[in-house]
C-alpha cells in the first residue's frame, strides 16, 4: 500500500513537471512567434502602409507581452488613415487593460485628444481623469491646454456662466504656462488667453512674458513686461533687454534690481543677470570691478565676490579673497568652493597643519560638494607627507569609492599603484553601444521594443529617461547629442554605477577609435580619443568661434602646417585627415615638452609657448602641483577633463 502511495506521488510530480514544461514551451514558442509578427508589422508600418500594418499588428496574440504595443500601433495606423473612431476603440482597450505599462497613460492621452477632435462630450471628463491619475506627467500638463480650449469654446447664453467658463479657461491656460513655459502649446495658450478679453493681473502678464522669453519671442516678452511692476519683474526686464542687444537698458535694470530688490528674486535669475552684465564690458575683470564698486549687499553679492576671487591668478590675494568669502557667507552657494580654495592655497604653501584643519572642516560640512573629491585627495597627500601611510591609503581609497568617475580618482589610483608621472599605454577592448539597461521596470517591454528597433515607441515610453533618449540619438546617428545627453544624465546621479554598467558606454563611446588607432603614430591612442571627446563630442563638423574645426579642433594654420610635412599620409579626407593631423600635431607637442603627456595635453589647449613659460613661473614638485597652478582656468579644467576621460575609458573598456 505504501509503495502504491509513493508511486502515485511520483506520478503526480512527473505529470506536473510535464505540464509546466508544456506551458513554458508553448509560452516561449508563442512569444517568439509574436516577436516575428510584431517585427514584420513594424516594417510595413515604417513603409507608411498603415492599412496592411493594422492587419499585421492584429495578428499578435492576446497572451503576448507585445499585445499592448500592437494595439497602440493599430490605433496609430487607424489615426493615420483618418479612422478616429477605430483608433479610440483601440486606445480604450489599452486604457481598460489594467496594465501598469507606460503605454497606458500615452494611450489615455491620445484617446482624449481624439475625443476632443471629434467633439465627443467625453473629452473633458477624460482629460480630467488624466490630470487626477497622472498629475506629474507631461500628459497632465498638456491636458490643461485642452481643458482650457473646451471651457473657452462652451457657448452659454447666460453672461455669468459665460464669464465663469472664460475664467476657468484662463486658469487652465495659466496652469499649462506655469508647468511648460516653452512647451508645445505655450504660444497657443497665450493666443487663447488674449481672445478671452479678461482683465489680467500683474502675475498673469509676467507669466506670459516669461513664456514668450522662453520661446525666444523677446519683443513680445517686453510688451507684456511693460504691463507688470518693475520691482517684481526687474530681472526679466534686464534679461529681455540683454537678449534684444540693448545692453545699456539691461545694465540699468540690473543696477535697479541688484541694489534694492534682489532679495525677492530667484538666485538663478540674479546670477544670470550678473553674468549678462559682466559680458557687456570689454573684459570680464572690468565688469566684475564695476559691480564690486556698487557694493551690493543683497542676493548675488556672494556671486560677485566669488567671480572676483576666481579672477585672481594665484598667491596670498587669492587665498585672502576666498577666506573672506567663506567667512562672510559660510552657508552660501559658493562656500564649499571658497573653503576648498583656501585649503588648496595652504597645501601649495606647504602649510600642511592649517590645510588639514580646513580639510576636516570641508569633509564634515560639504561631503557631497563638487570640491569634495579634491579635498579628500589632498588630505591623502598630506597624510602621506606626514608619513601616516595607512591613513593616506584610506583617503585615496575613499576617493575611488565615493568619486569613482572624477579626475581625482584617476590621481588617487596612480598614487596607490603606479604613480610614475607618466600615463600608461592602455589596450582597450572595444565594446558596442547597446540599449543601456539589461532589464526595465516595465516587465522588460521597453528592452524588447528596443531590440525590435521600435525607436519611436521607446522614445515615447521613456520621455524622462535621458539615457534611453541618448541611446535613441545614437541609433539614429546623432552621436554628439547622444554623448551630451548621457553625460548630463550621469552627472545627475548621486551614486554612480559600476564601470561595467551599460550606461557608461553612452557617456564614453569609442567613436572613430579605429581611425585613432590607425593614425596614432607614437601617441597613446586613448589620450587622442579623450581629446576628441572633450574637444568636439564626436562632431566632425564642429567649429569653434576662433575657427578651430573637426573632431580634434585644429586651427586652419595648424592643419596646413601639418599637412605640408612630407611624411603626412597622402589622400586622406574628412575624419581620417583631421584625426591624423591632430595626432601628428600632438606628437610634436610631446617632443617639444619632454615627451610628457601632461604637458602636451596642457599645450593642446593653452599653447606650447605658454606651457614652456610655466616651467619657470610655477614652483612645483609633482604633477598635482603643476596642474593646480596652471594660470589659465580654461586650460586647467581642460587638463582635468581629458585625464578624467582617459581614466574612464580605461575602466570601461
Whether the predicted pLDDT of 218 surpasses 60: yes
Task: Please tell me the predicted confidence (pLDDT) of residue 422.
Answer: 63
Mean pLDDT for the chain overall: 93
Report the Cα 234 to chain-centroid distance in Å: 30
Cβ(610)–Cβ(634) under 8 Å?
no
Question: What's the pLDDT tens digit per position in 272-329?
Answer: 999 999 999 999 999 999 999 999 999 999 999 999 999 987 778 999 999 999 999 9
Tell me, what's the pLDDT at 31? 79
pLDDT digits (tens, 9 = 90+) for 543-592: 999 999 999 999 999 999 999 999 999 999 999 999 999 999 999 999 99
pLDDT tens digits along 111-165: 999 999 999 999 999 999 999 999 999 999 999 999 999 999 998 888 899 999 9
Long-range contacts of 595-603 (CB under 8 A, 24+ apart): 596/421, 596/422, 597/422, 597/423, 597/524, 597/527, 598/421, 598/423, 598/623, 598/626, 598/627, 598/639, 598/643, 601/527, 601/531, 601/638, 601/639, 601/642, 601/643, 602/630, 602/635, 602/638, 602/639
The pLDDT of residue 442 is 54
How far is residue 632 from each of residues 129, 400, 610, 627, measured CA to CA in Å?
57, 27, 10, 10
Is residue 488 within 8 Å of 466, Cβ to Cβ?
yes
User: From the centroid of its chain, how far is CA 505?
Assistant: 15
When pLDDT is cut at 50, 70 and 90, the band that residue 11 belongs to is low
Look at residue 418 and tell me whether its pLDDT is greater than 90.
Answer: no
Q: What is the 3-state secondary structure (H, E, C) of 310-337?
A: HHCCCCHHHHHHHHHHHHHCCCCCCHHH
For 625-632, the CB contacts below 8 A with 24+ separation are 625/348, 626/598, 627/598, 628/344, 628/348, 629/314, 629/348, 630/602, 630/606, 631/313, 631/314, 632/605, 632/606
User: Of 496, 449, 497, 501, nearest to 475 (Cα)?
Assistant: 449
**What is the spatial distance between Cα 142 and Cα 140, in angstroms, rounded to a whole number?**
5
The pLDDT value recorded for residue 316 is: 86
pLDDT over threshold 50, residue 22: no
Phi, psi torsion values for 596, nearest 5 degrees: -105, 125
| pLDDT tens column, 29-61 | 467 899 999 999 999 999 999 999 999 999 999
Q: Is the pLDDT assigned to residue 421 strictly greater than 70?
A: no
Count the neighbouring beta carbons within 10 Å of the beta carbon of residue 534. 21
> What digits encode the pLDDT tens for the residues 380-402?
999 999 999 999 999 999 999 99
Per-residue pLDDT band at 28 (split at 50, 70, 90): very low
Residue burial 360-389, b: 16+ Cβ < 10 Å; e: rest = eebbeebeebebbbbbbbbbbbbbbeeeee
Question: Is residue 111 within 8 Å of 92, Cβ to Cβ?
Answer: yes
pLDDT of residue 501: 96
pLDDT at site 424: 81
Confidence of residue 14 (pLDDT cuts 50, 70, 90): low
Decide if 273 contacts 306 (C-beta within 8 A). no
CA distance 57 to 55: 6
pLDDT for 341? 97
Q: What is the pLDDT of residues 585-641, one digit of tens each?
A: 999 999 999 999 999 999 999 999 999 999 999 999 999 999 999 999 999 999 999
Query: Above 60 in pLDDT, residue 441?
Result: no
| Average pLDDT rounded to a whole number, residues 13-23 | 55
Please say whether the beta carbons of 598 and 586 come within 8 A. no
Model confidence pLDDT, tens digit, residues 511-542: 999 999 999 999 999 999 999 999 999 999 99
For residue 547, count CB atoms less than 10 angstroms from its CB and return exposed for 0-12, middle for 13-18, buried for 19 or more. Answer: exposed
Query: Are the C-beta atoms of 109 and 79 separated by less than 8 Å?
Result: no
Q: What are phi and psi of 502, to 5 degrees?
A: -65, -20
Amino acid at each position: 500500500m505504501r509503495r502504491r502511495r509513493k508511486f502515485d506521488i511520483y506520478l503526480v510530480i512527473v505529470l506536473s513537471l510535464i505540464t509546466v514544461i508544456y506551458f513554458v514551451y508553448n509560452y516561449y514558442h508563442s512569444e517568439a512567434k509574436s516577436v516575428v509578427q510584431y517585427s514584420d508589422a513594424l516594417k510595413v508600418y515604417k513603409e507608411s502602409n498603415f492599412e496592411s500594418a493594422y492587419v499585421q499588428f492584429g495578428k499578435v496574440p492576446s497572451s503576448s507581452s507585445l499585445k499592448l504595443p500592437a494595439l497602440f500601433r493599430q490605433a496609430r495606423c487607424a489615426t493615420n488613415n483618418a479612422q478616429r473612431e477605430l483608433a479610440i476603440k483601440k486606445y480604450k482597450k489599452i486604457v481598460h487593460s489594467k496594465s501598469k505599462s507606460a503605454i497606458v497613460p500615452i494611450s489615455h492621452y491620445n484617446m482624449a485628444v481624439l475625443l476632443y477632435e471629434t467633439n465627443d462630450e467625453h473629452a473633458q471628463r477624460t482629460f480630467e481623469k488624466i490630470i487626477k491619475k497622472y498629475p506629474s506627467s507631461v500628459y497632465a500638463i498638456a491636458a490643461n491646454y485642452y481643458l482650457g480650449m473646451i471651457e473657452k469654446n462652451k457657448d452659454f447664453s447666460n453672461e455669468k456662466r459665460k464669464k465663469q467658463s472664460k475664467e476657468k479657461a484662463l486658469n487652465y491656460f495659466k496652469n499649462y504656462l506655469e508647468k511648460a513655459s516653452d512647451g508645445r502649446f505655450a504660444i497657443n495658450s497665450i493666443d487663447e488667453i488674449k481672445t478671452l478679453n479678461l482683465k489680467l493681473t500683474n502675475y498673469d502678464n509676467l507669466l506670459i512674458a516669461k513664456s514668450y522669453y522662453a520661446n525666444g519671442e523677446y519683443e513680445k516678452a517686453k510688451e507684456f513686461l511693460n504691463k507688470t511692476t518693475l520691482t517684481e519683474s526687474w530681472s526679466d526686464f534686464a534679461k529681455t533687454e540683454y537678449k534684444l542687444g540693448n545692453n545699456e537698458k539691461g545694465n540699468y535694470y540690473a543696477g535697479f534690481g541688484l541694489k534694492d530688490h534682489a532679495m525677492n528674486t530667484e538666485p538663478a535669475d540674479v546670477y544670470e543677470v550678473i553674468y549678462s552684465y559682466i559680458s557687456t564690458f570689454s573684459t570680464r575683470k572690468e565688469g566684475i570691478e564695476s559691480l564690486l564698486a556698487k557694493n551690493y549687499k543683497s542676493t548675488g553679492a556672494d556671486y560677485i565676490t566669488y567671480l572676483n576671487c576666481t579672477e585672481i591668478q594665484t598667491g596670498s590675494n587669492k587665498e585672502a579673497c576666498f577666506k573672506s568669502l567663506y567667512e562672510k557667507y559660510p552657508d552660501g552657494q559658493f562656500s564649499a568652493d571658497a573653503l576648498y580654495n583656501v585649503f588648496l592655497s595652504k597645501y601649495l604653501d606647504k602649510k600642511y597643519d592649517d590645510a588639514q584643519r580646513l580639510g576636516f572642516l570641508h569633509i564634515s560640512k560639504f561631503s557631497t560638494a563638487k570640491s569634495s573629491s579634491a579635498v579628500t585627495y589632498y588630505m591623502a597627500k598630506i597624510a602621506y607627507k606626514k608619513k601616516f601611510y595607512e591613513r593616506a591609503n584610506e583617503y585615496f581609497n575613499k576617493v575611488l569609492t565615493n568619486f569613482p568617475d572624477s579626475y581625482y580618482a584617476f590621481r588617487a589610483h596612480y598614487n596607490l599603484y603606479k604613480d610614475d608621472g607618466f600615463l600608461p599605454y592602455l589596450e582597450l577592448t572595444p565594446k558596442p553601444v547597446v540599449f543601456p539597461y539589461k532589464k526595465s521596470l516595465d516587465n522588460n517591454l521597453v528592452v524588447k521594443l528596443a531590440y525590435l528597433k521600435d525607436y519611436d515607441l521607446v522614445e515615447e515610453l521613456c520621455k524622462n529617461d535621458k539615457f534611453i533618449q541618448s541611446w535613441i540619438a545614437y541609433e539614429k546617428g546623432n552621436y554628439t547629442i547622444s554623448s551630451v545627453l548621457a553625460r548630463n544624465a550621469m552627472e545627475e546621479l548621486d551614486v554612480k554605477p559600476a564601470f561595467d554598467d551599460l550606461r557608461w558606454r553612452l557617456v564614453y563611446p569609442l567613436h572613430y577609435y579605429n581611425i585613432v588607432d590607425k593614425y596614432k603614430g607614437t601617441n597613446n591612442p586613448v589620450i587622442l580619443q579623450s581629446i576628441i571627446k572633450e574637444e568636439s563630442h564626436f562632431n566632425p563638423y564642429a567649429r569653434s568661434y576662433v575657427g578651430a574645426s573637426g573632431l580634434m579642433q585644429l586651427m586652419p594654420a595648424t592643419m596646413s602646417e601639418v599637412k605640408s610635412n612630407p611624411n603626412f599620409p597622402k589622400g586622406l579626407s574628412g575624419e581620417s585627415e583631421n584625426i591624423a593631423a591632430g595626432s601628428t600635431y600632438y606628437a610634436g607637442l610631446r617632443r617639444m615638452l619632454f615627451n610628457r603627456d601632461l604637458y602636451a595635453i596642457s599645450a593642446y589647449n593653452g599653447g606650447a609657448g605658454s606651457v614652456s613659460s610655466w616651467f619657470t613661473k610655477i614652483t612645483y614638485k609633482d604633477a598635482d602641483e603643476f596642474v593646480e597652478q596652471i594660470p589659465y582656468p580654461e586650460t586647467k579644467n581642460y587638463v582635468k577633463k581629458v585625464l578624467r576621460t582617459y581614466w574612464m575609458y580605461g575602466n570601461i573598456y
